[in-house]
Amino acid sequence: MSSVSTSTGRQRILDVAAALVLDRGIDGVPLRQIADIVGMKASSLYYHFASKNEIVVAVFRQGIDVMERAWDDAADTPPHHPRARLAIHVRAHLSALFENGPFTAAHVTAFRTAPPDVRAEIIPIRDAYEARWTELLAELAAGGHLRPGTPLGLSRLALFGSMNSTIEWFDADRGNLDELAEVITTGFWDGFGS
Amino acid sequence: MSSVSTSTGRQRILDVAAALVLDRGIDGVPLRQIADIVGMKASSLYYHFASKNEIVVAVFRQGIDVMERAWDDAADTPPHHPRARLAIHVRAHLSALFENGPFTAAHVTAFRTAPPDVRAEIIPIRDAYEARWTELLAELAAGGHLRPGTPLGLSRLALFGSMNSTIEWFDADRGNLDELAEVITTGFWDGFGS
DNA sequence: GTCTATACCACGATAGAC
DNA sequence: GTCTATCGTGGTATAGAC
């Protein structure tokens, strides 16, 4: 298992690149800066990757991979009643955003400004992840657990927005991810009104 | 009243810059591209602005200004019961995001990767806008209309996330903003569960 | 208020030694 | 697998004519 400080070679480059891209965006990160932090010269990056775009694609891929793994882990737990099933996947998505490196967060924040060819390569992969959520919400709706009348796509997008926007303000070092997941789940399920 | 196609000089530069920054991020937009679309040379931009950062600051300022004006218009309407009061301000915020140029959306999406000095100049201004929301939510909570136990800051951030993340998917040309505002308000107030 | 010309630097990327 | 050296391009910004 790799961690940021112990990874080597290709993975170490991706760790550094993901953190920087999350912070400054794709165009805000020169290859020279990635290389500096890794401890090599920019030209040496080209032994591991053919281009900057290829690094970005690898970062995004790994970000989606982290999300899918978190989903799979969550899906392993025994079946719950509907709300708990949602809660466990919300917690998993937040885990991908905050507990497994900067990859998922980098993907979520930087994808919108990525070059068209990078986007084209990533879209099919992220679609597969989104389809899992659509399916989960469809099952909840079929069981009568979601308000009728709201299109499924809308509630999925609202949930994604609510989860992903935590990147802007949640501090994983100070806050509690379980509590955050509970707030988001409750907000989605019951709302904040009373 | 200025519109994108008829504005001139300084405002025309800002209109173009805001649209491009929304699309590609700050570092993804060369001054030459702004100048091209405006119909001048890049060097001529320096007659109107001292630096690229100054353009970005002006774009963000206007984005916040649009939000505040939308808020003020909403606050002009006679007092409602609590949920309707919230709904009217949600609608106003979405109006700022989609109905008054790309400034507010550019601010929301590009601020996170802005250079530190740009951020420092903008933060106090955006804080004032956020304080309006905090105050509104505090009044709702004081009236017993928000679920007790959820910190006010959390519900404000959840609401912001839900509204601002619509930038990623809502198509103002095809969708209905009133309906969107209703979905978001209902989602915040009552949730999506049943 | 916009132009031409240009300075200066940083960018991504390649070649080839070690 | 990393280095030095370098190429070509394009970035922000300035000077000065018109």
Q: For the segment A90-140, what is each residue's pLDDT rounded down to a tens digit?
A: 999 999 999 999 999 999 999 999 999 999 999 999 999 999 999 999 999
DSSP state letters, B108-133: HHHGGGS-HHHHHHHHHHHHHHHHHH
- Say which residues have a Cβ less than 8 Å from residue B79's Cβ, sequence separation at least 6: B85
| Nucleotides on chain D within 7 angstroms of protein Cβ | 1-6, 10-16
Instruction: Give, for all 194 residues of chain B, the pLDDT tens digit.
Output: 444 457 889 999 999 999 999 999 999 999 999 999 999 999 999 999 999 999 999 999 999 999 999 999 999 988 789 999 999 999 999 999 999 999 999 999 999 999 999 999 999 999 999 999 999 999 999 999 999 999 999 999 999 999 999 999 999 999 999 999 999 999 999 999 99
Helix (H) or strand (E) holding A125: helix A116-142
Assigned token pair, A51: 């281009």
Q: How far apart are the first and last CA of chain B?
A: 46
Q: CB of A32 under 7 A from strand C?
A: yes
The SS3 assignment for B156 reads helix
Q: What is the pLDDT of residue B5?
A: 58
CB atoms < 10 A from the CB of B145, how many?
A: 18
- We report the CATH number of the domain holding residue B137 as 1.10.357.10
Q: What count of other Cβ atoms lies within 10 Å of the Cβ of residue B81?
A: 9
Q: How far apart are CA B104 and CA B95, in angstroms?
A: 10
Which nucleotide is nearest to A29 if distance is taken from CA to C1'? C11
pLDDT value at residue B79: 77
Structure-token pair, residue B37: 């679309």
Q: Which of A26, A27, A168, A38 is nearest to A97 (CA)?
A: A168
Q: What is the mean pLDDT of residues A15-33?
A: 98
pLDDT on residue B66: 98
Spatial separation of the C-alpha atoms in residues A61 and A46, rounded to whole Å: 19
CA distance B106 to chain A (A): 12
Residue A98 lies in a domain: yes
Does residue A8 lie within any of the structural domains? no
Domain membership flag for residue B65? yes
Contacts (Cβ under 8 Å, ≥6 apart) of B4: B15, B19, B101
Domain count, chain A: 1
Give nearest nucleotide to B43 (CA–C1').
D13
First-to-last alpha carbon distance for chain A, in angstroms, is: 46
| 3-class state of residue B193 by DSSP | strand
Give domain status of residue B38, yes or no.
no
Domain annotation covers residue B20 = no
Q: What is the pTM of this model?
A: 0.96
The predicted pLDDT at position A2 comes to 44
Tokens of B193: 């569960």
Does A131 fall in a domain? yes
- Host domain of residue B117: 52-190
| Residue B138 located in a structural domain | yes
Q: Nearest CA to CA, how far is A190 from chain B (Å)?
A: 4
> A29, A17 in Cβ contact below 8 A?
yes
**Residue B75 amino acid letter:** A
Least confident of A3-7, A57-61, B152-156: A3-7
Q: Is residue B4 part of a domain?
A: no
pLDDT for A153-193, tens place per residue?
Answer: 999 999 999 999 999 999 999 999 999 999 999 999 999 99
Residue B127 at interface with chain A, using a CB cutoff of 8 Å: no
